[in-house]
Amino acid sequence: MIDHFGINCADLDAAKRFYDGVLAVLGSRRVMDFEVAVGYGSEQPVFWISGAAEGASNREAHIAFSAPDTATVDAFHAAALELGAESLHAPRLWPEYHPGYYGAFVRDPDGNNVEAVFHGAAQ
């Protein structure tokens, strides 16, 4: 069900030091680093940290749900919009994450970033 998730941190540098240390003990490491966001895992990122948005009143969470195919990602996005969600990113390929990464992102009623993702979409 959960593909990956992420949290925002008040001090990203301190969070990087902390998670580098504690997750290494558990067998995980930085597998992606975009400077503003870092993904941890053993082979693929499953836990992300990033800095809190400037001036944000709350610190959003990011939750990505696994989808079995691209049509389901599209249906997730359409259903979310019908339910009043804000679209953050319409369904598309995200090659900067990895080839075949197909995802859509919406903002839920509490301000969280919710995604549906399929790994393996045709290019």
pLDDT of residue 86: 95
Half-sphere exposure of 7 (CA within 13 A, CB side): 9
Nearest to 3 by CA among 82, 81, 94, 123: 94
What total of structural domains would you count in the chain?
Answer: 1
Q: In which domain, by residue range, is 11 found? A: 5-52+60-119
| CATH number, residue 39 | 3.10.180.10
Which of these ranges, 7-11, 50-54, 99-103, has the smallest mean pLDDT? 50-54
pLDDT of residue 110: 74
Model confidence, pTM: 0.77
> How large is the average pLDDT for residues 24-35?
92
Which of these ranges, 13-17, 45-49, 107-111, has the smallest mean pLDDT? 107-111
Q: Has residue 56 got a pLDDT over 80?
A: no
